[in-house]
A and B are shown apart, each in its own frame.
Chain A
Amino acid sequence: MAEYAHPDVLVSTEWVAGHLHDPTVRIVESDEDRALYVQGHVPGAVEIDWITDLQDALCRDYIDKAAFEKLCAERGISNDTTVVFYGDKSNWWACYAFWVFKLYGHKDCRIMNGGRKKWELDGRPWSSERVSYPRAHYTASEQDGSIRALRDEVLKHCKAGKQLLDVRSPEEYRGERMHMPDYPNEGACRGGHVPGAVNVPWPMNCNDDGTFKSVKELEKLYIKELKMKRRSPTIAYCRIGERSSLTWFVLTYLLGFGNVKNYDGSWLEWGNCVRVPIAKGPEPGPIAAVSA
């Protein structure tokens, strides 16, 4: 059976169960719903929350280098720790946390394939004990711009007609689903997608048990059907950058794409930008209309 491009980055629940007391490994849970961790987590796992831990409260950005170093130190993570991420929702938030760790240059990051769902399906134990580790020392790198796309770069990328993936639902992509009464959370002024973006909803990467699809299935989708090229620069986005970090993970580590960026500003930024074009409907749309 063909293997993923970087198989070491994906670990099974069995591997995690065998490393629960390994001092060189730190297991990290990241969820949509924080109460899940409190209710029960993989024994010994710490929680890193995508909002309250990873996002800066004042600027729409990630925590800065110093805050990241402090976060890691407090969770007992040092530069040489193997950090294994898992969570709910087929590992959306786990991939997001993984991506932020890569942003600050952490070397050994892994994903537990299948996340919470697979751990549960495999009948493995949950723990609700409070977890703490001795403070570690951590020195982060400067942010790695090679995996993060900001708005102006996306505009240039779009104008150049390069590979662009919208991983939201087809309704969001077509621009039908943006008026959500009582839900300021979805607050974008326009509904649609970045011109030229192809719609590959994130669930197409995953099986029902939360694990990733096989390399054969993923290659069929991205390489054969969509004719995407591994060496071409690629940007993925969604609404706030969480679902697209899962696609970023799939392209980079499972399929071996060489240059993939996550646009974390995503639709919540693009759909609100002044004088930035959008496309509506089921087609990627004309790139010629874009004037950057």
Chain B
Amino acid sequence: MPSVQERLDSVIAEFADLDGREKLQLLVDFAKGLPPLTAEYQARKAAEDRRVHECQTPVFLWMEADDDGKARLVAEVAPEAPTVKGFVAILAEAVAGRPLAEAAALGDDILERMGLADVLGMMRARGLHTITSRVRKGLLEHAASAPS
């Protein structure tokens, strides 16, 4: 099973040679791959404060750990924010089923390496960095509390 880093490297390679518009198109494609919340998470969405308040569009994130210490990112992103949705989908695919410590080592340079930082501009890129650090923090908390 490829590591988080290997998965991200392969996504980054997909983005590398595309022009700005094609990069955005690929993000839209990734956004379509983010599964809708299950009934369980729909219920939790109403009961828990999982909204990322820093984001102007509604984004809900759950950083989860399975019983065997494997990471999982569950998310709902409003359809009017395909950039955020696509980026979250990439993170979710990268960490799924990988050990918490490995998943929590998500880098801050993903956007830059995809060449998206320039396409989006600094202010939007910072918003996405917020999401990366949220995910990392949530996974680290699980890693810290998990029995080794």
B partners with A: yes
Residues 82-93 of A, flagged 1 when their CB comes within 8 A of B and 0 if not, give: 000000100000
Residues 47-91 of A, flagged 1 when their CB comes within 8 A of B and 0 if not, give: 001011001000000000000000000000000000000001000
> A186 interface residue, CB < 8 Å from B?
yes
User: Contact at B80–A35, with CB atoms within 8 Å?
Assistant: no
Smallest beta-carbon distance B11→chain A, Å:
16
Known contacts: A51-B124, A182-B133, A185-B123. The answer to whether A33 contacts B54 by CB under 8 A is: no
Q: Which of B56, B119, B120, B130 contacts A182 (CB 8 A)?
A: B130
- Docked CA distance A2–B82 (Å): 39
Residues 182-203 of A, flagged 1 when their CB comes within 8 A of B and 0 if not, give: 1111100000000000000000
Name the A residues within 8 Å of B122 (CB-CB).
51
Chain B interface residue bracket vs A: 20 to 34
Name the B residues within 8 Å of A184 (CB-CB).
126
Q: Which of B54, B83, B137 contacts A35 (CB 8 A)?
A: B83
Q: Which of B25, B31, B56 contacts A32 (CB 8 A)?
A: B56
> A159 interface residue, CB < 8 Å from B?
no
Name the A residues within 8 Å of B134 (CB-CB).
182
> B28 interface residue, CB < 8 Å from A?
yes
Interface of A is mostly: loop
> B81 interface residue, CB < 8 Å from A?
yes
Name the B residues within 8 Å of A130 (CB-CB).
21
Name the A residues within 8 Å of B130 (CB-CB).
182-183, 185
- Docked CA distance A124–B124 (Å): 29
Residues 15-38 of A, flagged 1 when their CB comes within 8 A of B and 0 if not, give: 000000000000000001111111
Name the B residues within 8 Å of A32 (CB-CB).
56-57, 81
> A39 interface residue, CB < 8 Å from B?
yes
Known contacts: A38-B24, A182-B54, A182-B130. The answer to whether A33 contacts B123 by CB under 8 A is: no
Smallest beta-carbon distance B25→chain A, Å:
5
- Docked CA distance A240–B84 (Å): 20
- Docked CA distance A182–B21 (Å): 28
Name the A residues within 8 Å of B56 (CB-CB).
32
> A180 interface residue, CB < 8 Å from B?
yes
Residues 111-149 of A, flagged 1 when their CB comes within 8 A of B and 0 if not, give: 000000000000000000010000000000000000000
- Docked CA distance A136–B78 (Å): 37
Name the B residues within 8 Å of A55 (CB-CB).
121
- Docked CA distance A118–B137 (Å): 39
A32, A35, A38: most-surrounded residue (chain B CB, <10 A) = A35
Known contacts: A88-B80, A130-B21. The answer to whether A35 contacts B28 by CB under 8 A is: yes
Smallest beta-carbon distance A227→chain B, Å:
31
> B73 interface residue, CB < 8 Å from A?
no
Chain A interface residue bracket vs B: 20 to 34
User: Contact at A35–B126, with CB atoms within 8 Å?
Assistant: no
User: Contact at A51–B28, with CB atoms within 8 Å?
Assistant: no
Residues 149-188 of A, flagged 1 when their CB comes within 8 A of B and 0 if not, give: 0000000000000000000000000000000111111100
Name the B residues within 8 Å of A35 (CB-CB).
24-25, 27-28, 31, 82-83, 86
A38, A51, A186: most-surrounded residue (chain B CB, <10 A) = A38
- Docked CA distance A182–B54 (Å): 8
Smallest beta-carbon distance B51→chain A, Å:
13
Name the B residues within 8 Å of A49 (CB-CB).
121
**Which B residues from 51 to 88 make CB contacts under 8 A with A?**
53-54, 56-57, 80-84, 86
Q: Which of A38, A51, A52, A180 contacts B54 (CB 8 A)?
A: A180
> B127 interface residue, CB < 8 Å from A?
yes
Besides A38-B21, A186-B54, 12 new A-B residue pairs in contact (Cβ under 8 A), listed by A number: A32-B56, A36-B80, A36-B82, A38-B28, A51-B121, A51-B123, A130-B21, A181-B54, A182-B54, A183-B54, A185-B54, A185-B130
A-B contacts, 17 of them at CB < 8 A, read A32-B57, A33-B57, A34-B24, A35-B28, A35-B82, A36-B82, A37-B24, A38-B24, A38-B25, A51-B120, A51-B122, A52-B120, A52-B121, A181-B54, A182-B129, A183-B127, A185-B123
